[in-house]
Amino acid sequence: MPDEWKDLYGEIKARKLSQSAKANIVKKVEKSGKLLFILGKYEKSTVVDKIYAAQRDVCKPEHAAKKILSEYDVVVIGCPGTEIPKAAFTKFRDYVYEKGGWLFSTDWALRSVIEPIFPGYIRWNEEKTDDCVVKCEIDDPHHPFMDDVQEVTHSDEWSKKGKEAKGEFHWWLEDKSFPIEVINSKAVKVLISSQEIYMKWKAAPVLCYFDVGTTGGRVIHQISHTHLQKGGIGGKYVLALILSNILDERVALRYNLKGQAPSYSQYDGTSTPSAAPKGTPGYGNLPAWTEADAGGYAGSGEPMQPDASKGDAPDLAETAMVQEEMQKLPPTQKCALGDGNFEDTIGKIFKCGGCGAPYHESCLNFQISAEGTCKICGRILLY
């Protein structure tokens, strides 16, 4: 039904407006809240198209680098994320670290976008799910993102909305969804998990987030896609409620509508890292990822590169020191130039100090003499 999501958000808004503590926030979101949705070919914008907000923009992934991200409260990155030019990665990083922006990503974007930009927090555990519906558990019903979720799912009205039993809700996993492995358990907050996912694919998180930087930046990630929810209207209602809660919280913090809300470090007593942890095995030097890595999809297998003809090239004023890679790289690790892996390499291996892209010594010398910039992130290489 075409207006299903509009009706759901209308119901959610009416419920929040009836609660005095939330009414002013909802009104402010309607007046000033801004959301950007970066399309993915496996991620539809249906869910965010109808969310109450002053501005809801949708852009194609190839245009992501041209957007002024600081204009938005929340930026949603749709699966798979592989079509987003590397030039946008620096913008994503600066948006979160320096501007305090919030990124919300889905499914395969974990591997293609989140891991390279924010290493050391969460990663794909290299398992791939089936197409199935799993039962979920709310790990923290008191968190602002989960506001009202438990109350709704335990209400008598809940079971009338769809096939959900009272107190339960389910999540639809797409075929080959990427399970989320938590690396930094002190920094990552898991809000929804599933024991079914854990038993089958060795990682339980369904929805989680972590804070980065010192300006309030936050990265939120969920398994599967926003529009893929079964269990009748009930399952969709929960997802719409969560997304509206995220936008509400961001706007409330931005305009200080309820006093300075607690940061994650204040919220559960752990330390919020000001930067990604260093020395995490396999991170900071990730191979270029394509859809072919997930299996079942056609991909070039070549490193993703910025396209200067489309305006995707980053600001070349940015520089990066070349560093010698002292650790042994995994057999699947590819050279940034696409010139094989490092399994039988005799010579030295170097990496870009900006994005961590690895190079054979000969490949690095060729790249510096030919272009002078990193093949992956476009920074000027200082050797």
User: Based on the domain organization, do 165 and 57 belong to the same domain?
Assistant: yes
Checking if the pLDDT of 153 tops 90, the result is no
pLDDT, tens digit, for every residue of 344-378? 777 889 998 888 889 888 888 877 766 778 888 87
Quick check: 355 and 289 in contact, CB under 8 A? Answer: no
For residues 202 and 340, membership in a common domain is answered with no
pLDDT at 310: 39
Structural domain of 352: 291-382
CATH code, 234: 3.40.50.880
The pairing of strands 349-352 and 358-360 is antiparallel
91 lies in the same domain as 132: yes
DSSP single-letter state for residue 207: E
321 falls in which pLDDT band (50, 70, 90)? confident
Indicate if 257 and 340 belong to the same structural domain: no
| Domain match, 157 and 33 both | yes
323 with 183, same domain: the answer is no
323 three-state secondary structure: strand
Confirm whether 282 is domain-assigned: no
Please tell me whether residues 188 and 308 are part of one structural domain: no
Residue 75 maps to a domain: yes
Q: Which of residues 215, 235, 268 is at a domain's end?
A: 268
Q: Is residue 286 domain-resident?
A: no
Do 236 and 299 have their domain in common?
A: no
Does residue 279 fall inside a structural domain? Answer: no
**Coil, helix or strand at residue 286:** coil
Comparison of pLDDT for 295 and 42, the residue scoring more: 42
Question: How much is the pLDDT for 299?
Answer: 30
User: Between these two residues, 207 and 283, which has the higher pLDDT value?
Assistant: 207
Q: Which residue among 268, 299, 325 closes a domain?
A: 268
pLDDT value for 339: 64
Closest CA to 290 of 311, 273, 304: 304
Both 257 and 316 in a single domain? Answer: no
In the predicted structure, residue 272 carries a pLDDT above the cut 70: no
Q: Which two tokens stand for residue 22?
A: 């939330």
Structure-derived torsion over alpha carbons of residues 187, 190, 194, 197, reported in degrees to the nearest 10:
-30
Report the pLDDT value the prediction gives residue 234, as an integer from 0 to 100: 55
Mean per-residue pLDDT for 209-216? 94
Last residue of a domain, one of 222, 237, 268: 268
Length of the chain: 383
146 touches 140 (CB < 8 A): yes
Same-domain status, 156 and 233: yes
Q: What is the pLDDT of residues 165-179, one digit of tens each?
A: 666 778 888 889 999
How many angstroms separate the CA atoms of 142 and 119, rounded? 28
Q: What is the DSSP letter of 40?
A: B
- Which of 14, 18, 31 minimizes the C-alpha distance to 241? 14
For 119-146, b where at least 16 C-beta lie within 10 A, e where not — what string?
A: bbbbbbbeebbeebbbebebbeeebbbb
Q: What is the pLDDT of residue 304?
A: 37
The verdict on 34 and 106 lying in the same domain is: yes
> Cis ω on the peptide bond leading into residue 80 (within 30° of 0)?
yes
Mean pLDDT lowest among 3-17, 37-51, 68-82, 287-301: 287-301
User: Domain tally for the chain?
Assistant: 2
Instruction: Tell whether 221 is covered by a domain.
Output: yes
State residue 336's pLDDT score: 85
Chain centre distance of CA 131:
21
Cβ atoms of residues 120 and 280 within 8 Å: yes
pLDDT of residue 3: 64
Is there a contact between 164 and 158 (Cβ–Cβ < 8 Å)?
yes
Q: What's the pLDDT score for residue 325?
A: 87
* pTM exceeds 0.85 for this model: no
Highest mean pLDDT among 12-26, 41-55, 296-310, 323-337: 12-26
Tokens of 302: 């070549």
In a domain, 285, yes or no: no
Better-predicted residue by pLDDT, 161 or 221: 221
Residues 6+ apart with CB under 8 A from 190: 139, 140, 182, 204, 205, 207, 208
63 and 193 co-located in one domain: yes
Mean pLDDT, range 201-214, rounded to an integer: 95
